[in-house]
Amino acid sequence: MTFDVAVFTFGLPILLKGLVNTILFCAVAIVFGLFIASLIALCRLSRRWFLRLPALWFVEFFRNTPFLVQAFILFFAFPRLGIRIEATVAGIMVLSLYAGAYFSESIRGAILSVPKGQIEAARALGMPYLRAMRRIVLPQSLGYLLPATTNQIIGVIKDSAALSVITVPELSMAAQVVLGESFSPVETYIMVALLYWALTAGVAALMAHVETRAAARVASPTLARVGMAGKSQ
């Protein structure tokens, strides 16, 4: 096996452009995903069955089918409904929904990790439900929420690679462009893997930083422990 070095010099700019797109698409999907997830989590904790059940089905569908198949269903559903849609838009949509389903589980767990009496007390003091969630529940559950979200963000970045199959121009798609010019698949895909690795490691480091910052600013029993552990090392 000979290693083709030339592909590095000419392939890298194309791949870096793909990496930027991957970061962009994932960032958008994560923002939308967190929004969807908050709604779904609140619906799943609702007493009303017509909120609870659809939210449950939504989560179960996205967690029990392959992301690739979800992408295909969405990608082909729009033309069938007579709506023309770009692959990139369809890709970001399916990634947002997918992320939303997974995020919602950790948000639900985080909400449940705070004793129910606290929210009841806040409500009794006249605080609206959503403000009680933001002021009382959220700060206390951050120690649970942040590590779980970090893992899921990394998962979203990794799974977004499959979007190249529906021709979304992200990093994996860029690899195919490079391969079209010079056939050195091993070198190209190793380069792509290294770029993904750098990205996920970067996100992990960033989120660890956010966690320590949050621990310093928010009074959370779970986060305080994380912060202490960080200091003693």
Q: Which is nearer to another protein, 199 or 223 (CB)?
A: 199
- Rounded to a whole number of angstroms, the minimum distance from the CB of residue 60 to another protein is 7
Distance between CA atoms of residues 202 and 214, nearest Å = 18
- Rounded to a whole number of angstroms, the minimum distance from the CB of residue 45 to another protein is 20
What is the DSSP track for 18-68?
Answer: HHHHHHHHHHHHHHHHHHHHHHHHHHHT-S-HHHHHHHHHHHHHHHHS-HH
At 66, the amino acid letter reads P
Q: Which is nearer to another protein, 63 or 213 (CB)?
A: 63
What is the DSSP track for 117-135?
Answer: HHHHHHHHTT--HHHHIII
Distance between CA atoms of residues 15 and 13, nearest Å = 5
- Rounded to a whole number of angstroms, the minimum distance from the CB of residue 186 to another protein is 5
Report the interface residues with another protein, using CB under 8 A: 1, 60-61, 63-70, 72-73, 76-77, 80-81, 154, 157-162, 164-165, 172, 175, 185-186, 189-190, 192-193, 196-197, 200-201
Q: Which is nearer to another protein, 96 or 172 (CB)?
A: 172
- Rounded to a whole number of angstroms, the minimum distance from the CB of residue 164 to another protein is 8
